[in-house]
């Protein structure tokens, strides 16, 4: 058993070693700091070492790499020009066709039979129209004659009415004369009887003499009027008047029998004849078109084909589509970020399969769409300048679009950029201190980016920023040459 003194000796020995270790560590740390300070004094460097890049100038080409599908810039859909049966059609989707090559022919037998039937119907329609027009013309001619005869009869009625009136007036005057003569003759006879009783009565003598003179005057007038001739004329005139009145009524009835729509009926029949002519003209044109069949208007590939030999197709039915293989493009669905860099006319390289082609941005759609993932995209068409027969429509095309190029600009590696919710910035070493510098950027490629403002050529910027770096801290810049290029020298 150990005594109390032995236990105390062991415990003292243990604490002694601990104190020695602590002293050794303290001396080591002090030595390290002393060595570090001596190194810093010898090298002139102070602060935390940081890797920096010296800002320089150079040329920068910005490009966007996208992919899309090959499509034709020119296509034509062909429709049935007539209603007819397909005589021959040996094309199918994917076939290559040449401009001028006949793609389809039609059977015109049914059309020619229809033409013969239409010609007979045309003849029948035209004969019916001619009959109607002839009848209308005859009716109108008779009506015109009746109108003329009616007007003449009315003139004769007016003439004979006037003549009969005048003869009647003369006969009435003759009757008055006869009445006067009878009255005066009776008066004379009465006076002569009285004179026989009183022969010396001078008053009666004068009265008889005066009345005798009056009778002579009246008889002369009556004799000059030729009453018998007047009566005969009146009878003739009355007969003529009655005849022309009857004719007038007859002609009036015939004149009023004419249909007021007769002129329209003639015009209608003329239209009927014209339609009959056109019906055969149209069918004859259809036959000529059908005989020509359908030929390709461009070099290309059949992308759809429905008709087969023996099939009856209606006029206007879509038959097939030919897409040009000489005018091709790659259509790319483009997101917002890439779209902001792209403009019509920019040059591009296109890779389809193992071949590369040259091209340019030809069109940017003005209508956006939403893809399957819900992202909004806009189609960009890149024209292929030098297409060949190896390109297959619908395959993938990888496109590199040269969106911008600048020379003699300030630029830095993209890894040097830092981002916050408010700005884009870099850390710059100035007088041994870490300084935050906000920058405005321009174009970029995969590695370098243009600095529009915020930096000057020769500035030293930190390449790899860590979370423990703070603005204002002491740093010691360490330069790393890239491929043997001295820092600060222009990069091409």
- Digit-coded pLDDT (tens) for 42-51: 555 468 898 9
CATH code of the domain covering residue 250: 1.10.287
Domains identified in the chain, total number: 3
Alpha-carbon distance of 465 to 418, in angstroms, equals 8
From 18-22, 144-148, 344-348, the region with the lowest mean pLDDT = 18-22
- For the whole model, what pTM was predicted? 0.53
Range of the domain at 84: 74-101+296-324
pLDDT given for residue 344 in this prediction: 94
Tens of pLDDT, residue by residue over 222-258, are 788 787 887 888 888 888 888 888 887 887 777 666 5
7-22 in b/e form (b: 16+ CB < 10 A) is eeeeeeeeeeeeeeee
pLDDT category of residue 481 using cuts at 50, 70 and 90: low
pLDDT for res 343: 93
459 and 332 housed in the same domain: yes
What pLDDT does residue 222 have? 79
Check residue 5 and give its pLDDT: 47
Distance CA 445, CA 341 (A): 12
For residues 90 and 226, membership in a common domain is answered with no
Residues 232 and 341 reside in one and the same domain: no
Q: What tens digit of pLDDT does each residue of 92-110 get? A: 888 899 999 998 999 888 8
Average pLDDT score over the chain: 82
pLDDT at 16: 53
- Give dist(CA 352, CA 331) in Å, integer: 13
Residues 324 and 300: beta-carbon distance below 8 Å = yes
Does residue 482 surpass a pLDDT of 50? Answer: no
**Residues 148-158, mean pLDDT to the nearest whole number:** 82
CATH number at residue 86: 2.40.50.100
My answer on whether 344 and 319 are in the same domain is no
Higher per-residue confidence, 249 vs 280: 249
Is the pLDDT at 292 greater than 70, yes or no?
A: yes
Q: What mean pLDDT do residues 343-366 have? A: 95
Q: Tell me: do 308 and 257 sit in the same domain.
A: no
Q: 377 and 434: one domain?
A: yes
| Residues 91 and 223 placed together within one structural domain of the fold | no
Instruction: Kindly provide the residue ranges of all beta strands, DSSP E only, lying in 306-415, ordered along the sequence.
Output: 312-313, 318-324, 328-334, 347-352, 355-370, 376-384, 396-413
Return the H-helix or E-strand segment holding 66. Answer: strand 56-72
pLDDT value of residue 269: 72
DSSP string, 339-355: HTT--TT-EEEEEETTE
Does residue 438 belong to any structural domain of this protein?
yes
Distance of CA 368 to the CA centre of its chain: 21
Last residue of a domain, one of 234, 269, 304: 269
Q: Is residue 222 part of a domain?
A: yes
């Amino acid at each position: 058993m150990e005594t109390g003194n032995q236990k105390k000796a062991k415990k003292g020995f243990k604490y002694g070693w601990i104190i020695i270790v602590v002293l050794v560590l303290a001396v080591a740390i002090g030595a390290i700091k002393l060595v570090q300070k001596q190194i810093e004094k010898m090298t002139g460097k102070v602060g935390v070492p940081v890797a920096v890049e010296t800002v320089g100038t150079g040329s920068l080409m910005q490009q966007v790499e996208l992919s899309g599908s090959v499509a034709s810039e020119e296509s034509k859909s062909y429709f049935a020009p007539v209603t007819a049966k397909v005589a021959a059609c040996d094309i199918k989707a994917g076939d290559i066709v040449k401009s001028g090559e006949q793609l389809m022919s039609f059977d015109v037998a049914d059309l020619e039979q229809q033409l013969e039937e239409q010609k007979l119907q045309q003849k029948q329609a035209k004969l019916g129209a001619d009959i109607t027009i002839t009848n209308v013309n005859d009716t109108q001619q008779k009506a015109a004659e009746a109108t003329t005869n009616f007007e003449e009869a009315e003139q004769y009625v007016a003439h004979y009415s006037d003549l009969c009136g005048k003869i009647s007036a003369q006969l009435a005057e003759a009757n008055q004369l006869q009445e006067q003569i009878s009255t005066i003759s009776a008066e004379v006879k009465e006076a002569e009887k009285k004179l026989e009783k009183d022969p010396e009565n001078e008053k009666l003598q004068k009265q008889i003499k005066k009345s005798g003179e009056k009778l002579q005057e009246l008889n002369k007038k009556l004799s000059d009027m030729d009453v018998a001739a007047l009566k005969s004329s009146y009878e003739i005139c009355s007969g003529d008047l009655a005849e022309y009145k009857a004719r007038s009524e007859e002609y009036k009835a015939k004149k009023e029998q004419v249909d007021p729509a007769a002129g329209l009926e003639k015009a209608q029949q003329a239209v009927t004849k014209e339609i009959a002519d056109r019906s055969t003209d149209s069918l004859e044109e259809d036959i000529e078109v059908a005989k020509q069949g359908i030929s390709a208007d461009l070099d290309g590939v059949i992308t759809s084909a429905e008709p087969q030999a023996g099939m009856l197709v209606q006029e206007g039915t879509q038959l097939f589509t030919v897409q040009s293989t000489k005018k091709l493009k790659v259509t790319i669905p483009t997101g917002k970020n890439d779209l902001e860099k792209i403009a019509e006319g920019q040059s591009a390289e296109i890779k389809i399969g193992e071949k590369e082609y040259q091209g340019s941005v030809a069109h940017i759609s003005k209508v956006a769409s939403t893809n399957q993932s819900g992202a909004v995209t806009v189609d960009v068409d890149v024209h292929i300048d030098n297409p060949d027969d190896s390109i297959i429509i619908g395959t993938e095309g990888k496109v590199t679009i040269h969106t911008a190029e600048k020379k003699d600009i300030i630029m830095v590696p993209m890894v040097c950029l830092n981002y916050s919710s408010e700005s884009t910035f870099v850390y710059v070493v100035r007088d041994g201190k870490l300084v935050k510098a906000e920058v405005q950027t321009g174009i970029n490629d995969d590695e370098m980016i243009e600095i529009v403002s915020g930096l000057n050529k020769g500035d030293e910027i930190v390449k790899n920023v860590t979370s423990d770096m703070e603005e204002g801290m002491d740093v010691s810049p360490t330069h790393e040459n890239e491929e043997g290029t001295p820092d600060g020298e222009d990069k091409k």
